[in-house]
Chains A and B, each alone.
Chain A
Amino acid sequence: MRSEILTATSRDTQSTPQPIVQIEHLQKHYQMGDTIVRALEDISFTMLTGEFWSIMGPSGSGKSTLLNLLGCLDQPTDGLYRLGGIDVSEMDDDELSEIRNERIGFIFQSFNLIQQLTVLENIEVPLFYMGWDPTDSRDRAQELAEKVGLGDRAGHRPRELSGGQQQRVAIARAMANDPLILLADEPTGNLDSKTEAEILAMLQELNEQGKTVIVVTHELKVAEIANWNLSMRDGLIDAVRGPEDSDRSRWQG
């Protein structure tokens, strides 16, 4: 178990960026009675390891839908999605669960910690489903709690923590499986601006350590931190802005 995590860590520190999220003509339609809601029309792009992406756009433009697909919580209606080189667009429920468990870290707007569990136990949840040994997982959770500055709150319940502290626990939990991509849907939507800055700094730090981060947001502050920005409108890519030297052929609207 431990050795797998060590190799997983080494994949973040590879010097040349590799394609990690490859999407081609992705579509997501919802059948609502007689009408079809085209939440995603036709989306194609590639993200590389170590990038920090922000996804912006007006309400209802399909940001959350896209993020749920990237997080393997849902299946596309059509199109291709390759995560870390594996095609996940045809997988069944159990296989998707395994992919989420091993390759994806989620951070939610409303923290979503489990109320009856302590800080450490919350961080351990993904490790439990990975089948980790209890002592190893306890050690790893303690280590992560300390990294997010909550080593002294290890035994506390979520409702004894502030919103910012809860979100830090959620970040620790998202990092427990050392994911390929870290997904966050409006992670600072429920926080004041001071705490927001703290959380953003933490995401930035993780990105600097090599983690690929994708954040859906309405905040320009987040977009400023991200080195790539994807704007959406009506289920389509409106614009992609990257660093000056970037290769624009990696996306099409």
Chain B
Amino acid sequence: MSASRYWRTVRLGLKSLALHKLRSGLTVLGIVFGVCSVIAMLSIGEGASWEAQEQIKALGSTNIIVDSVQPPENQSASAERSRVVDYGLRYKDAERIQETIPEVSVVIPVRQIEKDLWHLQRRSRGVVKGTLPYYFGLGRFELQEGRYLTDTDVETHANVGVLGSAAARDLFPFENPIGKLIRVGTDPFRVVGVLREKAAASAKDTGSEIIEETGYDFYIPLPTAQDWFGELIVKVSSGSRDMERVELHRLQIQIEGDHENLEAAVDRTASALRTMLERHHPDVDYRITVPLELLRSARATKRIFNIVLGSIAGISLLVGGIGIMNIMLASVTERTREIGVRRALGAKRKHVISQFLIETVVLSVGGGLLGIVLGIIIPQLVTAFSDMKTIITPFSLILSFGISGLVGVLFGIYPAWRAANMDPIEALRHE
């Protein structure tokens, strides 16, 4: 058949469907909702997994992060009025890791103290982090103004620091913070740099509970932190005074290796690290986070999610297809006379087949197109009303459109076959 004959058959199909507008419309709804839900769900899933992966990537996939955590038995200890809890990573751990695990390029220690930041009468929540200049070399930060910490700052135990964007906004709403003095509790520090706000800066949704940049951080040289804040941290909680002695809150371990071997190097380092820490910290007062592993499991989750979505979509399209087949069978019976007349006037079986097949495809593809339109609109609404990220991939559009066409062909074959195999004389006699 030539293109123009196909087109005429499509128009004929539309006319025949228009004969029962309500019925055709209701039948098509099955496909509309099927296709629309495939696209909408895939776009929500895609958006969620994109966000998760971005957040994990922000941690750096060539890193391993070890955090100090209070071991469980200490937390549940009897409610003494005042006590000192001693746990966590040591300076010794940092040295040991650096020296014994071959593929580790840098170990960056971090000490962390939660203290309010002051500038004149302005106050901001603050997380003071004592660390080394390497910390800024991980590619996770961007400077708004000024500079990062330097080796000289570390050697001289300088009272300087780099301020997070949110704290900078709170403390210096109208002025440039660079060179200004701020107070941490009562101790004065000079601001030498301000960080830029990053879009996917928080890791709160990844479920990994990693201490992460919140914008309220104030980065100072590690030796300075030791000088000023010691190792004892006083925590006041529900009337009791808890003292914590923690040497280091975090070790950020950078792994080196060329691109292909990097993943394997990360895996090797992670297992070496686990063995080492198990031996030296029987209390398990640490937690290891391997962003690469998180990334892998996020991808695996996405795969499962896609399979589940695919099955749901498949079932709904199957139901839609059965609905279409049902209506087409009814239509074939109703139009038995028409089929008889067409056969008498010279239609071959293949003409009848293509007429009914094309009619079914018109129905299902029409539903598919409508579903695509809805499937594009709904994620936009979801994003507008819930700030959930959604991503519509061309793949999902092509997939659902293809499936709707396929449903038409598959579920159209039997009714069309029934129509084509009617005896013309019987068909003409049909009441």
Alpha-carbon distance A115/B343, docked complex (angstroms): 16
- Distance (Å) between the CB of A51 and the closest chain B CB? 22
Verify B342–A125 contact, CB threshold 8 A.
yes
* Interface members, chain B 342-363 (any A CB < 8 Å): 342-349, 351
Interface residue SS majority, chain B: helix
Q: A73-B424, A112-B337 are in contact. Are A100 and B345 (CB under 8 A)?
A: yes
A118 to chain B, nearest CB (A): 9
- Known: A73-B425, A112-B337. Is A101-B345 also a contact (CB below 8 A)? yes
Q: Is the CB of A97 within 8 A of B346?
A: yes
Instruction: List residues 56-107 of chain A with CB under 8 A from any CB of chain B.
Output: 68, 71, 73-74, 93-94, 97-98, 100-102, 106
A108 to B343, CA, bound (A): 14
- Contacts of A101 on B, CB cut-off 8 Å? 345-347
Cα of A71 to Cα of B345 in the assembled complex, Å: 10
Residues of B within 8 A of A68 (CB): 425
B16 and A100 form a contact (CB under 8 A):
no
Once the chains bind, are B346 and A98 in contact (CB under 8 Å)?
yes
Chain A hits for B378, CB < 8 A: none
Return the chain A residue nearest B346 by Cβ. Answer: A101
Which of A71, A98, A128 interacts with B344 by CB under 8 Å?
A71
| Residue of A97, A101, A129 with most chain B CB atoms under a 10 A cut-off | A97
A68 to B429, CA, bound (A): 12
Choose from B5, B338, B343 the contact partner of A97 (Cβ within 8 Å): B343
Total A residues in contact with B, Cβ cutoff 8 Å: 28
Whether A106 touches B344, Cβ cut-off 8 Å, given contacts A74-B425, A134-B8, is yes
B22 at the interface (CB under 8 A from A): no
Q: Known contacts A93-B348, A101-B346, A130-B346: does B19 contact A116 (CB below 8 Å)?
A: yes
- Given contacts A112-B337, A115-B19, A134-B4, whether A106 and B424 have CB atoms under 8 Å apart is no
Minimal Cβ-Cβ distance residue in B for A105:
B345
Q: Are B428 and A108 in contact (CB under 8 A)?
A: yes
A101-150 contacts to B (CB < 8 Å)? 101-102, 106, 108, 112-117, 125-126, 128-131, 134
Distance A241 CA – B30 CA, assembled complex (angstroms): 63
A173 within 8 A of B: yes
Contacting residues, chain A, for B346 (C-beta < 8 A) = 97-98, 100-102, 126, 129-130, 177
Contact residues in B for A106 (Cβ distance below 8 Å)? 344-345
A130–B424 Cα distance when bound, in Å, is 18
Q: A73-B428, A94-B349, A130-B346 are in contact. List 12 more A-B contacts (CB 8 A).
A: A68-B425, A73-B424, A93-B349, A97-B349, A101-B347, A106-B345, A112-B341, A114-B342, A115-B338, A128-B5, A129-B342, A129-B345
